[in-house]
Amino acid sequence: MKPLHDIRNDFPILQQQVYGKPLVYLDNAATTQKPQVVIDAVCDYYRNDNANVHRGVHALSERATAHYEQARDALVAFIHAGNRREIIFVRGATEAINLVAQSWGSTNVQAGDEILISAMEHHSNIVPWQWLCERTGAVLKVIPMDDSGALLMDAFDTLLSERTRLVGVVHQSNALGTINPVAEIIAKAHAVGAKVLLDGAQALAHVAVDVQALDVDFYVTSAHKMYGPTGVGMLYAKEALLDAMPPYQGGGDMIRTVTFERSEYNDLPYKFEAGTPNIAGGIGFGAAVRYVQSLGVENIAAHEQQLLEYATAQAQACGYIRLIGTAEHKASVLSFTVNGVHPHDLGTILDRDGVAIRAGHHCAMPVMQFFGVPATARASFAVYNTQQEVDVLFAAIEQAHAMFQ
């Protein structure tokens, strides 16, 4: 991987100061910053190629379409999908899960069936399944976790049955950092005939993913957590599943012919892409994928792991920090509480030192309930973070702690 200094220079936003202090951006699990190549891809589209896709016969539309579709191809290569028909552009991980719950759920889930999710899901992988269960009379069940934030696989084995239609699990938890044993989950789920959806909103920027090797049925992510723009994301699904699923939304682009009597749907992936898409976002997503590939996911992960270990050791060394999420397999996320300092106050105090962290429930309220805390502070790492920034973080935490002594 290229030197850290050069990587930091790829991200113009990192060069700034906030409140007179160098920005230390440690809220990457919420959204990562964007490298110049992504910013350029978005700008170039608007400056040079702006046109609607898939319909114009003119030069601009052909260029826009080509760049947009190249982004799809970049994703095919990145996650080792079988082909480009399996990559659906959506608004983000949230929309991808809603799409599956509505489209696949409406034709494959009935009263008495069971949907299995985990205790550490983001709200976006809870609420759509609750709705599906309400609509169909299916039952939502939850795989529990232990005090370290690792799934209890024995309990998973017990919960899994012929009634299970789908297992929806986060690949990497945004609240805890836990990386779940997804290969084992998929193999076991398939053994009882259940499908598996993996929420890869966090994972794709930190874990190399091969959807065919995993044999996963659905894989979802958001571009903005892997150095791409907001408002665009991906649903990967096996082609046979997508073929059998009814469309999600109706409109332009998703149909082949329309009469007032009936409509014939377009081929994959367009069947699931009604309306003018987020073209600039899609093109930026492609640039982000290429950027991550140019650095190498394994290299990114190794760098972040070093930071995480360094930060974890510092947290453990000072007696007043409680780590939330200490699973053996985890990455890039340090969730914690500081004795005597509410996470919200900590966030404000750190901010004045230029340190951006997240304080709150991280859209994972059941995780907070499990650990008996209203909220946690969360520092989350990306490829551009440094050990020196971790030092700044802990110096600021010490200050905050002293303030409430």
Ligand X SMILES: Cc1ncc(COP(=O)(O)O)c(C=O)c1O
Q: Which residues bind other proteins (CB under 8 A)?
A: 19-20, 340-345, 348-349, 352, 359-361, 365, 368, 374-375, 403-404
- 28 contact, one of ligand X, other proteins, none, CB 5-8 Å limit per kind: none
64 vs 334 by CB, closer to ligand X: 334
Exactly one of 113, 199, 217, 353 binds ligand X (CB under 6 A); which one? 199
Contact 307, 388 (CB under 8 A): no
Sole window of 19-27, 47-55, 104-112, 196-204 interacting with ligand X (rule: CB under 6 A): 196-204
Assess 235 for contact with ligand X (CB under 6 A). Answer: no
Q: How far is the CB of 163 from ligand X (least distance, A)?
A: 26
* Residue 341 identity: V
Nearest to 288 by CA among 30, 25, 37: 37
Q: How far is the CB of 334 from other proteins (least distance, A)?
A: 19
Assess 117 for contact with ligand X (CB under 6 A). Answer: no
Supply φ then ψ for residue 220, to 5 degrees. Answer: -125, 150
- 202 contact, one of ligand X, other proteins, none, CB 5-8 Å limit per kind: ligand X
Stretch 126-165: interaction string toward ligand X, x if CB under 6 A: ----------------------------------------
Q: According to CB under 6 A, which residues from 53 to 72 bind ligand X?
A: none
- 374 contact, one of other proteins, ligand X, none, CB 5-8 Å limit per kind: other proteins
34 vs 378 by CB, closer to other proteins: 378
Sole window of 139-147, 182-190, 194-202, 253-261 interacting with ligand X (rule: CB under 6 A): 194-202
33 vs 94 by CB, closer to ligand X: 94
- The CA distance from 171 to 183, in Å, is 10
* Residue 115 identity: I
Q: Is 133 a catalytic residue?
A: no
Assess 363 for contact with ligand X (CB under 6 A). Answer: yes
Q: How far is the CB of 376 from other proteins (least distance, A)?
A: 10
Q: How far is the CB of 56 from other proteins (least distance, A)?
A: 43
For 211, the token pair is: 């959807």
Report cis status (omega within 30 of 0) of the bond before 343.
no
Assess 201 for contact with ligand X (CB under 6 A). Answer: yes
CB neighbourhood size of 313 (10 A)? 10
Q: How far is the CB of 276 from ligand X (least distance, A)?
A: 20
Judged by CB under 6 A, the number of residues near ligand X is 12
- 79 contact, one of ligand X, other proteins, none, CB 5-8 Å limit per kind: none
65 vs 94 by CB, closer to ligand X: 94
**Catalytic entry in 43, 133, 318, 363:** 363
Q: How far is the CB of 28 from ligand X (least distance, A)?
A: 11
Exactly one of 94, 108, 278, 380 binds ligand X (CB under 6 A); which one? 94
Q: How far is the CB of 267 from ligand X (least distance, A)?
A: 26
Per-residue HEC secondary structure of the chain comes to CCCHHHHHHCCHHHHCEECCEECEECECCCCCCCCHHHHHHHHHHHHHHCCCCCCCCCHHHHHHHHHHHHHHHHHHHHHCCCCHHHEEEECCHHHHHHHHHHHHHHHHCCCCCEEEEECCCCHHHCHHHHHHHHHHCCEEEEECECCCCCECHHHHHHHCCCCEEEEEEECECCCCCEECCHHHHHHHHHHCCCEEEEECCCHHHCCCCCHHHHCCCEEEEEHHHHCCCCCCEEEEECHHHHHHCCCCCCCCCCEEEECCCCEEECCCCHHHCCCCCCHHHHHHHHHHHHHHHHHCHHHHHHHHHHHHHHHHHHHHHCCCEEECCCCCCECCEEEEEECCECHHHHHHHHHCCCEECEEECCCCHHHHHHHCCCCEEEEECCCCCCHHHHHHHHHHHHHHHHHCC
Exactly one of 35, 92, 269, 343 binds ligand X (CB under 6 A); which one? 92
312 vs 376 by CB, closer to other proteins: 376
165 vs 362 by CB, closer to other proteins: 362
54 vs 123 by CB, closer to ligand X: 123
Which residues are identified as catalytic? 363
